[in-house]
Structure 1
Amino acid sequence: MTQSDNRNDSPAVNALCEVRNRVGESPLWSVQEQALYWVDIESRRLHRFDWAAQQEQRWDVPERIGCIALHAQGGLIAAMETGLFRLRPQAGGEIGIELLHAVHFEQPGMRFNDGRCDRQGRFWVSSMVMDMSLAQPAGVLYRYDRRGLVPMVEGLITGNGLAFSPDGRTLYLSDSHPKVQRVWAFDLDAQGNLSHRREFIDMNRHPGRPDGAAVDEDGAYWICGNDAGQVHRFGPDGRLERSLHVPVSKPAMCSFGGPELRHLFITSIPPAQPAAGFEAALDGAVFVTQPGPRGLPDMPFQP
């Protein structure tokens, strides 16, 4: 692991391995395997880092993967360009790919983006228009379970920041587009219905755009401040409690893991132009730090 600088009393932030992603997203810790998975969207690649062996492995896939979650029957569920798939990566470099549900987006040039499972094992995933300069609110947050793929929230430009409270009764969702930059909270009932949408955080008041997020065991909401090189921790009341500095400008998504779920993993994206004050050689890396609080294990998808 590569040591970075340490500013403003933030904990040490290290590069997990030598991989530099084009668009690093969806860090996912498997408690059973004691391994971290993540995706490089634009490279159409799945990565796995074995914690005990300190070794990384990768698999190429035919489509962009927006996000992944564990699958209760083994392997992963992945939101790809043409639908939801079950992935079964093998040690030899082969990967099984099984279509679970096809998707037909509202217009060309769209893909899935951020997603994860709630505490009941339902898979939630947002879609977006890939050309963010168009600022088209065609994105949708979907819920996927035995009832199929159901649109739940419409009118998103770049749906992001998906996370769930420890009791599973609150869903968090952001729109990370520069024209929006807000995080909302919803009430989530046992049947997977949403209600009482309210603004949780106006990220226009804080450094960075609201990208991927996670929740710790205290119910605090951690979200990457993309373009600002920070990861923010907000309390359940929406108040900013602290900010972690990372050595790159575009942290993309964070997730808890490690042997005791005390490590925070952070994927990143290289900026279009090198950003002043950051370490360009680390752009696209996956980082690991120990911020203090414990996280919660990711729930597997329940088919």
Structure 2
Amino acid sequence: MNNMQPETVTVERLEGAGQAPCEVGESPVWREQEQALYWVDIPARTIARLDIGTGKKTGWRLPEKVACITFDRHGTVLAGCETGLFAVSLPTAPEASVRKLAAPDFPLPGMRFNDGRCDRQGRFWAGTMVQDMAAVSPAGSLYRYDAEGTLSTSVVDGLIVQNGLAWSPQGTTMYLSDSHPARRLVWAFDYDTDAGEPRNRRVFADLNQFSGRPDGAAVDSDGCYWTCANDAGLLLRFTPDGRLDRSIALPVTKPSMCTFGGRELDTLFVTSIRPADGANEHDGHLLAVRPGVHGAPECGYAGVL
């Protein structure tokens, strides 16, 4: 194991997010115009919102599992769920209003969308997986949903647990991971920003050499890639040339995804998963980490839902 000693950084558990932990917290999204953070709990079929200033939490329930979200310019949610992509309106809680937009041809039963994020041009990318991770099935694929509302065919296939989508600040490098214990890899691609096509796939970080599995990720303004090291309770930062240069210990076992937010984009908000056995008091809760760097702003969906 090629691990470095984790840094001591102040990590805050956001009590305003609620005392009840998520089973599988995922897909944190910072809404600058609201100064609010949104995220999901996949098995609970919920989208949550936390007003950072007041600490008020709001939640909406969907008719099926929701794994990843982004917003269009009018505040409608684009969500990757079990059976496809949905436009989700968030009226008065607790029920959301949903409309199905598109769905891939799932090759196997028991699949769903997993990790999703927009590129710098506002195309929404999301991948699929077989929900039974014990099956070790490489039936997952990565898809692109463009601003015209067209869902692509599979762009990257052979994925077990698709994860880790992120783009460099200029948008010319795309990152993608497979977080299954049998893979534990992060890939980088050259990204054609005009065509929305990733090319020249290569291994960027092999977490078989480190602790944990590469789950959700974010990129900072220096172009460094932060990944949640699931099962290791760490945030790992890799430089653009694939070198591990920072490791931050977290009070949760299974950090799942991170995003930069706050007024100065200087806070990493981290969701987490609550283990079925041996969970501690922080597992499943939302964390705020201030790593001393700023994030690269994330883009929403460029189309109108």
Fold in common (TM above 0.5): yes
* Cα offsets for 1:198-220 (capped at 9, x unmatched): 11000101110000000001100
Secondary structure, counterpart of 1:120 in structure 2: coil
Shift of 1:55: 1.0
Shift of 1:66: 1.1
Give the letter aligned to residue 299 of structure 2.
Answer: M
Aligned equivalents of 2:228, 2:210: Cα separation in 1: 11
Kept in 2: contact 1:139–1:154 (CA 8 A): yes
* Cα offsets for 1:103-131 (capped at 9, x unmatched): 33111000000010000000000100000
Match of 1:12 in 2: 10
Give the letter aligned to residue 124 of structure 2.
Answer: F
Number of aligned residues: 293
Shift of 1:74: 1.9
Secondary structure, counterpart of 1:149 in structure 2: coil
Secondary structure, counterpart of 1:204 in structure 2: helix
Please, which of 243, 264, 269 is the counterpart of residue 247 of structure 2? 243
* Cα offsets for 1:28-63 (capped at 9, x unmatched): 001111100000001001100011211111011111
Please, which of 178, 194, 198 is the counterpart of residue 194 of structure 1? 198
Match of 2:298 in 1: 298
Shift of 1:8: 5.3
* Cα offsets for 1:64-102 (capped at 9, x unmatched): 011001212322110011111111212453422122213
Summarize the alignment of residues 139-158 of structure 1 with structure 2, pairs less than 5 Å apart.
Answer: 139-145=140-146, 146=148, 148-150=150-152, 151-158=154-161
Aligned equivalents of 1:66, 1:8: Cα separation in 2: 29
Distance 1:105 1:60, change over 3 A: same
Aligned equivalents of 1:11, 1:125: Cα separation in 2: 31
Please, which of 142, 163, 178 is the counterpart of residue 181 of structure 2? 178
Kept in 2: contact 1:31–1:297 (CA 8 A): no
Q: What is the TM-score with the length of structure 2 in the denominator?
A: 0.93
Match of 2:56 in 1: 55
Secondary structure, counterpart of 2:151 in structure 1: strand
Aligned equivalents of 2:237, 2:190: Cα separation in 1: 21
Kept in 2: contact 1:29–1:36 (CA 8 A): yes
Aligned equivalents of 2:263, 2:92: Cα separation in 1: 22
Aligned equivalents of 2:294, 2:92: Cα separation in 1: 30
Summarize the alignment of residues 118-129 of structure 1 with structure 2, pairs less than 5 Å apart.
Answer: 118-129=119-130
Kept in 2: contact 1:250–1:271 (CA 8 A): yes
Give the letter aligned to residue 254 of structure 1.
Answer: C
Aligned equivalents of 2:213, 2:268: Cα separation in 1: 19
Match of 2:210 in 1: 206
Summarize the alignment of residues 1-303 of structure 1 with structure 2, pairs less than 5 Å apart.
Answer: 9-17=7-15, 18=18, 19-145=20-146, 146=148, 148-150=150-152, 151-189=154-192, 190-274=194-278, 280-303=280-303
Kept in 2: contact 1:214–1:221 (CA 8 A): yes
Kept in 1: contact 2:177–2:215 (CA 8 A): yes
Aligned equivalents of 1:228, 1:78: Cα separation in 2: 28
Aligned equivalents of 1:258, 1:90: Cα separation in 2: 24
Kept in 2: contact 1:27–1:37 (CA 8 A): yes
Aligned equivalents of 2:261, 2:10: Cα separation in 1: 16
Higher mean alpha-carbon deviation, 65-74 vs 105-114, is at 65-74
> What's the % identity of the aligned pairs?
51
Shift of 1:147: 6.1
Give the letter aligned to residue 46 of structure 2.
Answer: R
Aligned equivalents of 1:92, 1:114: Cα separation in 2: 24
Shift of 1:10: 2.1
Aligned equivalents of 2:136, 2:258: Cα separation in 1: 25
Higher mean alpha-carbon deviation, 284-293 vs 86-95, is at 86-95
| Structure 2 alignment gaps of length 5 or more | none
Give the letter aligned to residue 173 of structure 1.
Answer: L
RMSD: 1.4
